[in-house]
Structure 1
Amino acid sequence: MRASDIMTRDVKTVAAEATIDEAVNILLSIRASGLPVLDAAGRLVGIVSESDFLHRVEIGTAKRRPRWIEFLLGPGEVAEAYVMSHSRKVGDVMTRDVVTVAANASLSEIVAVMDKRKVKRVPVVTGDELVGIVTRSDLLRALTACRQASAPAAPLDDQAILDRLIAELKEQGFASPRTLDVTVDRGVVTLTGEIFDERQRAALICAAENIPGVTRVLDQLVWIEPFSGMTLESKTGMM
Structure 2
Amino acid sequence: MLVQAIMTSPAITVTASCSVAEAAKLMLDNRISGLPVVDANGALVGIVSEGDFLRRSELNTERKRSWLLEWLTSPGKIAAEYVRTHGRRVEEVMTSPVSAIAPTAPISDAVKLMERQDIKRLPVVADGRLVGIVARSDLLRGLSQALPASPVCAGDAQIQAAVEAELARQSWSRNGFIHCHVADGVAELTGTIFDERERLAARVAAENVAGVASVRDLLVWIDPYYGIALPPPDAEASQA
User: What TM-score results when the alignment is normalised by the length of structure 2?
Assistant: 0.86
For residues 152 and 95 of structure 2, the distance between their equivalents in structure 1, rounded to whole angstroms, comes to 46
CA drift of 1:80 comes to 1.4
Partner residue, 1:16: 16
For residues 128 and 160 of structure 2, the distance between their equivalents in structure 1, rounded to whole angstroms, comes to 53
- Contact preservation (8 Å) 2:216, 2:234: no
Partner residue, 1:200: 198
- 1:29 lines up with 2:29 in the alignment: yes
Deviation per CA, 1:171-217: give whole Å up to 9, x if none. 11122453234333343322223223222111111212223343332
Partner residue, 2:91: 91
Distance 1:131 1:193, change over 3 A: same
For residues 168 and 190 of structure 1, the distance between their equivalents in structure 2, rounded to whole angstroms, comes to 15
SS at match of 1:133: strand
- Please say which of residues 204-213 and 57-66 is displaced more in the overlay: 204-213
- 1:172 lines up with 2:206 in the alignment: no
- Please say which of residues 126-135 and 23-32 is displaced more in the overlay: 126-135
SS at match of 1:102: coil
CA drift of 1:74 comes to 1.3
- AA aligned to 2:113 is V
Deviation per CA, 1:17-64: give whole Å up to 9, x if none. 121111111111001000011234432111100010001121111112
- Contact preservation (8 Å) 1:166, 1:177: no
SS at match of 2:159: helix
- Contact preservation (8 Å) 1:169, 1:177: no
For residues 56 and 227 of structure 2, the distance between their equivalents in structure 1, rounded to whole angstroms, comes to 54
Partner residue, 1:80: 80
SS at match of 2:12: coil
Partner residue, 1:7: 7
- 1:64 lines up with 2:76 in the alignment: no
For residues 151 and 179 of structure 2, the distance between their equivalents in structure 1, rounded to whole angstroms, comes to 28
Over the matched positions of the two proteins, sequence identity in percent amounts to: 44
What's the RMSD between the two structures over aligned residues?
2.4
Count of residues in Structure 1 that have an aligned counterpart in Structure 2 = 236
SS at match of 2:104: coil
For residues 67 and 41 of structure 1, the distance between their equivalents in structure 2, rounded to whole angstroms, comes to 46
Partner residue, 1:53: 53
Partner residue, 1:156: 155
- Please say which of residues 137-146 and 21-30 is displaced more in the overlay: 137-146
Distance 1:142 1:212, change over 3 A: closer
- AA aligned to 2:156 is D
For residues 80 and 200 of structure 1, the distance between their equivalents in structure 2, rounded to whole angstroms, comes to 49
- AA aligned to 2:14 is V
User: What TM-score results when the alignment is normalised by the length of structure 1?
Assistant: 0.87
Deviation per CA, 1:71-96: give whole Å up to 9, x if none. 33311211111111111121111110
SS at match of 2:139: helix
Partner residue, 1:134: 134
- AA aligned to 2:68 is W
- Contact preservation (8 Å) 2:151, 2:211: no
Partner residue, 2:124: 124
For residues 17 and 225 of structure 2, the distance between their equivalents in structure 1, rounded to whole angstroms, comes to 61
Partner residue, 1:114: 114
5+ residue gaps, structure 1 = none
- Please say which of residues 25-34 and 206-215 is displaced more in the overlay: 206-215
- Contact preservation (8 Å) 2:156, 2:182: no
SS at match of 2:147: helix
- AA aligned to 2:181 is T
Partner residue, 1:215: 213
